[in-house]
Amino acid sequence: MEVIKEAKVKIDDLEDLLREGKILTLPTDTVYGLVCNASNKEAVERVFEIKGRDIKKPISVFVRDIKMAESLAEISKEQEEFLKTAWPGKVTVVLKRKRGRKLFGIDKETIALRIPDHKLIKNLFKLIDFPLSGTSANLSGEDSAIETKELLKQFKTKGPDLIVDGGKLKERKPSVIFDLTKNPIRILRQ
């Protein structure tokens, strides 16, 4: 498990690692996240293994923009208007999933999507054309990590291939989750 300071990281190297099926821990606008190529079955399975998370409990997916979201989910005009005000940012939305694209670690009928508002991830999405599995970087049941030392403490025996150290993050709050499959919209997590 390698640790590199965010200021020294090369985006091209992160792209290569993700294409190779590696698991990265990146700072986000909420907490540190475990990310991998959401289309790589083995990588997604490793994320569940690293977290000690039940494989039946879906994880969210990071997308570059609304266009990428529309390739994965059914999005009405009203939902799109909501997304334009919520993204990028600390908002995850649950939508009806489209068929066809092979993604792993998600529900059969729905998909939870988010566009993080973090420079590193935004720059990474300029190079990659695939969605990322994105879940908090912590062992299931433990607090989400906001510092690298917490990550190293939790992932002593098995962890991601690379941790990008973005310093201490501002708060320990995961994203708010809205269920857009319901009318009216339901808040699943504040």
Q: Report residue 173's pLDDT band, with 50, 70 and 90 as the boundaries.
A: confident
Alpha carbon distances (Å) from 17 to 12, 13, 170: 9, 6, 27
Question: pLDDT band for position 187 (50/70/90)?
Answer: confident
> 3.40.50.300, 3.90.870.10, 3.40.50.10540, 3.40.50.2000: which CATH number matches 2-189?
3.90.870.10
Beta strands in the chain (DSSP E): 2-5, 24-26, 33-37, 60-62, 73-74, 91-97, 110-114, 132-136, 162-165, 176-179, 186-189
Which neighbouring-strand residues pair with 26?
33
- Rounded CA-CA distance 74/21 in Å is 27
DSSP-derived pairing of the beta strands 24-26 and 162-165: parallel
pTM over 0.85: yes
Locate 173 and state its tokens.
């709050």
The predicted pLDDT at position 186 comes to 85
Q: Compute and round to an integer the Cα radius of gyration of the chain.
A: 15
pLDDT at 190: 77
**Domain locations in the chain?**
2-189
The per-residue pLDDT for range 52-70, each reduced to its tens digit, is: 999 999 999 999 999 999 9
Q: What is the mean pLDDT of the segment spanning 129-144?
A: 93
- Answer for the pair 12, 127: CB distance below 8 angstroms, yes or no: yes
Over the stretch 101-111, which tens digit does the pLDDT of each residue have?
Answer: 899 999 999 99
| 164 three-class SS | strand
Contact 24, 164 (CB under 8 A): yes
Instruction: Please count the residues of the chain.
Output: 190
| Contact present, 73 and 96 (Cβ < 8 Å) | yes
